[in-house]
Structure 1
Amino acid sequence: MKKAENIIVGISIGDLNGIGSEVVLKTFEDSRMLELCTPVIFANVKVISFIKKTLELSAALHGIDNLEQLVLGKINVLNVWRESIDLNFGTNDDIVGKYAIKSFVAATKALKDNQVDVLVTAPINKYNIQSEEFKFPGHTDYLNKELEGNALMLMIHNNLRIGLLTDHIPVNDVAKNLNEKLIVQKIETIKSTLTKDFGINKPKIAVLALNPHAGDNGVIGKEDDEILKPVIKKLFDKGNLVFGPFAADGFFGNSQHEKYDAILATYHDQGLIPFKTLSFGNGVNYTAGLNKIRTSPDHGTAYEIAGKGIADFNSFKEAVYTAIDIYNSRNQFEEISKNPLKTKEKQL
């Protein structure tokens, strides 16, 4: 297993007019972070130095032109581009959006090629990243295409884990997207990630209902009775600890979420509103179900405070911690899977 500082954390810089660079630099100003891992920021060292100077930050940067030049224990900045960029903090700029994607695509390739161990992505603007070359709603959809597996958005804060059955689609499309194949796939992904990435052998999973009061026996919609319940029962009968569908309002109001290892919400805001309320700005977005590890903070570009030096970096720092923890947990799981008898002997 790798020593801590040898874990290479690839960082895509996100929207340079937002708070991404600030939270990245603030995270690694603390030298203790460099004992946990070695960061590589995919950007341009002159641009990052300019932002550092503007925000009066103290992080020492090490510019490199290829990953063979990486230095352990330093904040490495890989020059993905050479040209200068005009930045205007707090503004939506299509040109800046193109550089956000250059950074992200380069960092993803490094992750695929095992040149970095994990990927942590700073926030992008979903509007200014669109182009003929990049036609994805965001990070997750691109990663699902590039990496093996079935991506699932899993929000994490301590023991609270909320996955999304559907994510970035309009609310009026949610019901028509619910089907047995999708539900089974997402629940299997959550079960697998809880086992491999979080070390939970027999995970308990709760599923939230689509309709208020879980449909009230069909009075307020039939999807819960006709789609969700039969699939949950089928999975439970096969030995999976899957329960629901639960009415979402009472579920969190009565602290039922504390009884489960993960919760599957049927749509974006149903999961994200309680999550962000309960995580107090320290939440992490983890893309579960892929053969590589990617995390991100649970916030956006925050244009309204960009360039002011007041951004809270805790969510990004937690994203780094989470990526490292999952990396170690996954390696331990693979080691145990390969040598179950040897591991048992060690325990004895």
Structure 2
Amino acid sequence: MKSAQKIKLGISIGDLNGIGGEIILKTFDDSRMLDFCTPIIFASVKTLSFLKKHFDLSINLQGIEKVSEAIDGKVNVINVWKENVVINFGAEDPESGKYAFKSLQAATKALKDDEIDVLVTAPINKNTIQSEEFKFPGHTDYLARELQGDSLMFMITDNLKVGLLTDHVPLKDIAQIISPELIEKKITTIQKTLQQDFRISKPKIAVLGINPHSGDHGLIGQEDETILKPTIQKLKDKGYLVFGPYAADSFFGSKNHENFDAIIASYHDQGLIPFKTLSFGEGVNFTAGLKKVRTSPDHGTAFEIAGKNCANINSFKEAVFKAIEIFKTRKEYKKLTKDPLRKQSKKI
């Protein structure tokens, strides 16, 4: 009997001067990881061989020219470039950003073309990657354009899931950007994601207020009263189990987050400060709302420790596991929704 083909897991290298290469190679230096997927790194054998030697790893790299050549049980490397690249650990260099984009672009195309099943992205430097081809505040917005979806930054662990109404947006612009339409779109995305990707049929979702103390009935800003509350009520009337707005300052400290399947924060730091405080090094950044699965670790390039052989691989490894798990769960969900009788027959 032919064994099931492993999930093809594409990996973009991130900024070469950061810790991306280190955490990727150290993750797959453990050969047990190859039992779960077939990794395909979009970079170059020359570059990764340099990193392998620098970090004194025993990992075997399989150079390939196209995804179809990938071999199960091997760490495959697509040669996106073949020239020698100088790596200056910890340096913020546009040259390194150029190669980060080459890797991301090639990996994203493979994902769009169904050559790989999921994508895990190593951290980029949002400054050095900027170019005529990449004018985005981060991975999420770029992938939303390329994969044509309503993307949502969703930070996840097994016990905590935090989504954002706005992500890489200046603080001064947040109140103007948050609208009833945006709130409804983001909460709808989270609802669908929890159902299809996490097997939660009737998710409970908490919404954090825009202003301190959720505006204190309008004393500290009107947005919670005039925008958030009416939209939350509208969604409740549609059958959503959505609650709030809650004052953000005490929500996590009081452990109220444990009563919900997901929390949606109004802006980046309101959601990510508590998330990273509670789960740093174990959390995963999942781009919800896309037809394809993309995850990444919950940290950046960590230039300050790049090349020092001390980067923690836990978050990247979790990103690999979550990508595989979400892909399988979504596949099963699609089968069940296409054939509801299949679900009933299992109970007979």
TM-score normalized with structure 1 length: 0.98
Q: What corresponds to 2:197 in structure 1?
A: 197
Cα 1:3–1:311 shift into 2, 3 Å: farther
What amino acid is aligned across from residue 95 of structure 1 in structure 2? E
8 Å CA contact 1:224, 1:245 repeated in 2 = yes
Q: What corresponds to 1:154 in structure 2?
A: 154
8 Å CA contact 1:39, 1:74 repeated in 2 = yes
Query: Deviations along 1:73-115, whole A, 9 cap, x unmatched?
Result: 1100000011111111110111110000000000000000000
What amino acid is aligned across from residue 109 of structure 1 in structure 2? K
Q: How do residues 124-139 of structure 1 correspond to structure 2 at under 5 angstroms?
A: 124-139=124-139
Q: What corresponds to 1:68 in structure 2?
A: 68
Q: What corresponds to 1:221 in structure 2?
A: 221
What amino acid is aligned across from residue 333 of structure 2 in structure 1? F
What amino acid is aligned across from residue 307 of structure 1 in structure 2? G
8 Å CA contact 1:14, 1:124 repeated in 2 = yes
Query: Deviations along 1:298-334, whole A, 9 cap, x unmatched?
Result: 0000001000110000000000000001000000101
Q: How do residues 256-295 of structure 1 correspond to structure 2 at under 5 angstroms?
A: 256-295=256-295
8 Å CA contact 1:207, 1:263 repeated in 2 = yes
Tell me the matched-pair count: 347
What amino acid is aligned across from residue 149 of structure 1 in structure 2? G
1:35 aligns with 2:55: no
8 Å CA contact 1:5, 1:73 repeated in 2 = no
User: What value does the CA root-mean-square deviation take over the aligned residues?
Assistant: 1.1
Identity of aligned residues (%): 63
8 Å CA contact 1:4, 1:35 repeated in 2 = no
For structure 2, list consecutive stretches of 5 or more residues without a partner in the other structure.
Answer: none
Cα 1:3–1:229 shift into 2, 3 Å: farther
Indicate the SS of the match to 1:149. coil
1:211 aligns with 2:211: yes
Q: What corresponds to 2:143 in structure 1?
A: 143
Query: Deviations along 1:208-234, whole A, 9 cap, x unmatched?
Result: 001111111111111101100000011
Q: What corresponds to 2:301 in structure 1?
A: 301
2: CA distance between counterparts of 1:26 and 1:3? 27
Q: What corresponds to 1:168 in structure 2?
A: 168
Detail structure 1 runs of 4+ shifted over 4 Å in the superposition.
2-5
Q: How do residues 48-87 of structure 1 correspond to structure 2 at under 5 angstroms?
A: 48-87=48-87
Query: Deviations along 1:175-212, whole A, 9 cap, x unmatched?
Result: 01010110000000000000000010000000000111
Indicate the SS of the match to 2:31. coil
8 Å CA contact 1:4, 1:36 repeated in 2 = no
1: CA distance between counterparts of 2:4 and 2:19? 27
2: CA distance between counterparts of 1:138 and 1:3? 38
What amino acid is aligned across from residue 99 of structure 2 in structure 1? Y
For structure 1, list consecutive stretches of 5 or more residues without a partner in the other structure.
Answer: none
Deviation at 1:4, TM superposition (A): 7.0
Cα 1:73–1:135 shift into 2, 3 Å: same
Q: Which moved more, 1:174-183 or 1:131-140?
A: 131-140
2: CA distance between counterparts of 1:249 and 1:78? 46
TM-score normalized with structure 2 length: 0.98
Indicate the SS of the match to 1:76. strand
Indicate the SS of the match to 1:253. coil
Q: What corresponds to 2:23 in structure 1?
A: 23
1:92 aligns with 2:92: yes
8 Å CA contact 2:282, 2:314 repeated in 1 = yes
What amino acid is aligned across from residue 160 of structure 2 in structure 1? L
8 Å CA contact 1:180, 1:227 repeated in 2 = yes
Deviation at 1:280, TM superposition (A): 3.2
Q: What corresponds to 1:114 in structure 2?
A: 114
1: CA distance between counterparts of 2:132 and 2:178? 30
8 Å CA contact 2:38, 2:73 repeated in 1 = yes
1:240 aligns with 2:240: yes
2: CA distance between counterparts of 1:42 and 1:344? 42
1: CA distance between counterparts of 2:34 and 2:282? 20
1: CA distance between counterparts of 2:30 and 2:5? 14
Q: What corresponds to 1:8 in structure 2?
A: 8
Deviation at 1:159, TM superposition (A): 2.0
Cα 1:3–1:339 shift into 2, 3 Å: farther
8 Å CA contact 1:204, 1:262 repeated in 2 = yes
Deviation at 1:347, TM superposition (A): 2.5
What amino acid is aligned across from residue 28 of structure 1 in structure 2? F
